[in-house]
Amino acid sequence: MTTKTEINYLIVGGGIAGSLLAYNLYKAGKQVRLIQTSMKGEASSVSAGLINPITGKRFVKTWNWEVIQQHFLECYRSLEKDWDCTLLKPISIYQYLDSVEEENQCASRMLDGEYKDYLEFEYMPTSKGSEFPLLKIKTAFLLDINLVLGKVLNFFKNLNLVTNEKMEYTDLDPSSMIWKDFQILDGVVFTEGSFAMDNPFFNHLPLWL
C-alpha cells in the first residue's frame, strides 16, 4: 500500500475564487493543493476587473456593499503588502445614459442619502453626442486580476503545490476522500466557475436554469 500525502483541502479551479481561497487557507496554516488548468470559457483571466457598487438598469447599490468593500479592501491590501505591488486602484466609472427615464432614475437615486456619495452627473461633450449627462459612479475600483492570478499560481508552483491539469472527477473517491496520491482531511472545494455544470457531484442542482 502506498502512503498518501495528507492535505487539508483540495481546491479545484484557480480562477479568482479558487486562487484567493487557496492562498488564504495556506496563510492560515492549512495544507492546500490547487488543481488548475486554463480552459476556454474561464472568466477571471478575461474579466475587466471592475468592482462597481452601482449596477443594472435601475442603478441599484450592491447589497451589503459597505461590508463587502471592507473585506475586499482588507484582502487586496494585505496581498499588496505580501507581494509589494499595487493590485487595486480606486477609479470612477462613467456611464452613458440613453433616455430621460434613465436620467430621472439616477436623479432620484441621488436624492437618496444612501446613494449621494456614489453618484453624480457630469456634463461634458461625449463622443456619442448624447443630450443626456454622463453618470459618474465615484467609488469604484479596478483590480489587476491577472496580476493576482499570476502571483498566486507562481506562489503555489514554487512550493510545488499545484497540479496543472484538468481534474477528472472519477479520480476522487468521496467515501475515502482520496484523490490520486492525496488523503484529503477537511474537504474538496470546487471553484470551477461555469464549468461546475459538468461536475457530477452537483448534478442534482438546477445549474442550467
Ligand X SMILES: Cc1cc2nc3c(=O)[nH]c(=O)nc-3n(C[C@H](O)[C@H](O)[C@H](O)COP(=O)(O)OP(=O)(O)OC[C@H]3O[C@@H](n4cnc5c(N)ncnc54)[C@H](O)[C@@H]3O)c2cc1C
Q: Contact residues for ligand X (CB under 6 A)? A: 12-18, 35-39, 42-44, 46-51, 166-167, 191-195
Rg (CA), the chain: 22
Nearer of residues 63 and 123 to ligand X, judged by Cβ: 63
Set of cell numbers at residue 87: 493590485
Minimum Å gap between C-beta 169 and ligand X is: 7
- Choice between 39 and 147, CB closer to ligand X: 39
Nearest to 43 by CA among 200, 209, 194, 207: 194
Measured from the CB of residue 10, what is the shortest distance to ligand X in angstroms? 11
Euclidean distance between CA atoms 103 and 135, whole angstroms: 8
CB-CB contact of 146 with 48 (8 Å): no
Nearer to ligand X, 37 or 108 (CB): 37
Q: How far apart are CA 146 and CA 54, in angstroms?
A: 23
Q: CB count, 10 Å around CB of 104?
A: 11
Q: Which is nearer to ligand X, 43 or 159 (CB)?
A: 43
Minimal distance in Å, beta carbon 113 to ligand X?
26
Residue nearest to ligand X (CB): 15
Residue with smaller CB distance to ligand X, 28 or 48: 48
- Nearest distance from C-beta of residue 136 to ligand X, angstroms: 18
Amino acid identity at 151 = K
| Chain center to CA of 87 | 13
Residue 191 and residue 67: Cα distance in Å, rounded?
Answer: 23
At closest approach, how far in Å is the CB of 41 from ligand X? 7
